[in-house]
Amino acid sequence: MNVVEIKMALIDEDKDQPRYQFNEEALQELMNSIEELGLLSPIKVRPEAGGRYKIIYGNRRYKACQMLGREAIPCIISSATDEMEIYLEQIAENLTREGFSPIEEAEAFHKLLNDERFRSSTKFLSAKLGKPESYIKNKLELLKFSNAVKKLIVSGTEIRKDQLTEDQLIPLKDLPMEHRDPLALIAARDELAVSDVKKIAKLFKDKTISDNTKEKLLLKNGDGLIETWSVYEQNRKERAKAQKEQEEAAARKAELAAEARASSDISSAASSNARGNSGGVAVPGGGMAVSDSGSHGAGGAGASNASGAASGIAVGSGSLNSDVSSPAIGSATNNTSGGAAQQTRSSVSALMRQLQEMLPRQNELSSTIYRLAASLQEEAEALSAEEIDHTIGMLQQQLAQWQELRGKLSN
């Protein structure tokens, strides 16, 4: 790489190069450094017609030397002629230098993507410049803002008054322009932290807040907007909590309804089994009947063959004395042959086993009723005490009848 001294008068600036913003204070510092230490890095130029040269990169160094009154400047002469390659080299060089603003980067990327001379792609630029595609896309988002906002965009992440960092602007990029630019200017004026800008952006993205309300919010300062966001967030959480409680209540209601249906099904099944086991035998007083038609297996056959004896056995709501000592019982136990008596006993045993098999389902039905009643809490008194007392009375009466029967059979 040859470095040659070229007269300043023969060198022209590239007005079309990516970097065009020059901070006067930074330029003064560079000039002082060159005056004290000399130019540490040469600029790069390309030959032009008439023996002149155009700068590829190094405009700030050229300007500083010009301000110092230097007659010549060290240069690297490039042989590149492809406009795309030259422009990419200018961008790559500036990316390594301080002061290359995000908006200058964005405009350079936009030119490469849209200018007829280049018509590039983000994937191509990413490979050439060594930057992720997301980096390039985020820079392009800055072009959505108005010129008034663009002038305030600076490099770095430090929050400073009347300046804007890229991180402050990105949360606002998807808002409508009538909200996006005023909020960006408020963020610059009030030195809003990135986290606060994100909160405010969330507030203005909420579609449940009317545009009229949002217009009024733009009259607030940064602190006022953050306070509004806090109230909004609290209200949002309360609404979410209320909705969750409603959903839980609805789910509980559905669960209770399902339990009620299950209880109804169990009750219907128990009632159906009871009707099947009764076999059409009349049940005095609404009590529990035993008949030959509900028996199974050998017991069923026995009951069929001894229908006259078995059909006379009944447990009703009244006393068992008359029933147990009735002629039917007598005929079944004393007046029939030994074979018929054995068949009758088998039939009774089978029916007793059926009854025992039904008791767990009865317990399940009782448990479900108890659980549903307990879930009513303060509305429990709405249940009919008479219905419960009636059920208790029926169970006690049936138990007394079974105990009386057991005592008679033991005598």
Q: Mean pLDDT across the stretch 43-54?
A: 92
Per-residue pLDDT at 99: 73
Per-residue pLDDT at 141: 93
Look up residue 311 and give its amino acid: S
68 in Cβ contact with 21 (< 8 Å):
no
Count CA within 13 A, CB hemisphere, residue 230: 7
Q: How much is the mean pLDDT over the chain?
A: 79
Which residues are registered as beta bridge partners of 289?
314
Q: Please name which of 157, 177, 179, 178 lies closest in space to residue 168, comparing C-alpha atoms.
A: 157
Distance of CA 337 to the CA centre of its chain: 79
State yes or no: pLDDT of 104 exceeds 70.
yes
State yes or no: pLDDT of 393 exceeds 80.
yes
State yes or no: pLDDT of 320 exceeds 70.
no
Q: Please name which of 224, 168, 225 lies closest in space to residue 191, comparing C-alpha atoms.
A: 168
State yes or no: pLDDT of 299 exceeds 70.
no
Q: Mean pLDDT across the stretch 273-284?
A: 48
Look at residue 282 and give its three-state secondary structure: coil
> pLDDT above 70 covers what percent of the chain?
78
Q: Nearest 10 degrees: CA dihedral of 64, 68, 70, 76?
A: -20
State yes or no: pLDDT of 118 exceeds 80.
yes
pLDDT band at 62 (very low <50, low <70, confident <90, very high): very high
- 384 Ramachandran zone, left/alpha/beta (phi>0; psi -120 to 50): beta
pLDDT band at 281 (very low <50, low <70, confident <90, very high): very low
- Most confident listed range (134-138, 347-351, 378-382): 134-138
Name the architecture of domain 1-79: Alpha-Beta Complex (3.90)
Q: Where in the chain is the domain with CATH 3.90.1530.10?
A: 1-79
17 in Cβ contact with 86 (< 8 Å):
no
Digit-coded pLDDT (tens) for 2-36: 889 999 999 999 888 888 777 788 889 989 999 99
CA distance 257 to 313: 40
Per-residue pLDDT at 300: 40
**E strand or H helix that includes residue 44:** strand 43-47
Q: Mean pLDDT across the stretch 240-254?
A: 89
Which residues are registered as beta bridge partners of 74?
5
Torsion angles phi and psi, residue 259, rounded to 5: -65, -40
Per-residue pLDDT at 301: 38
State yes or no: pLDDT of 139 exceeds 90.
yes
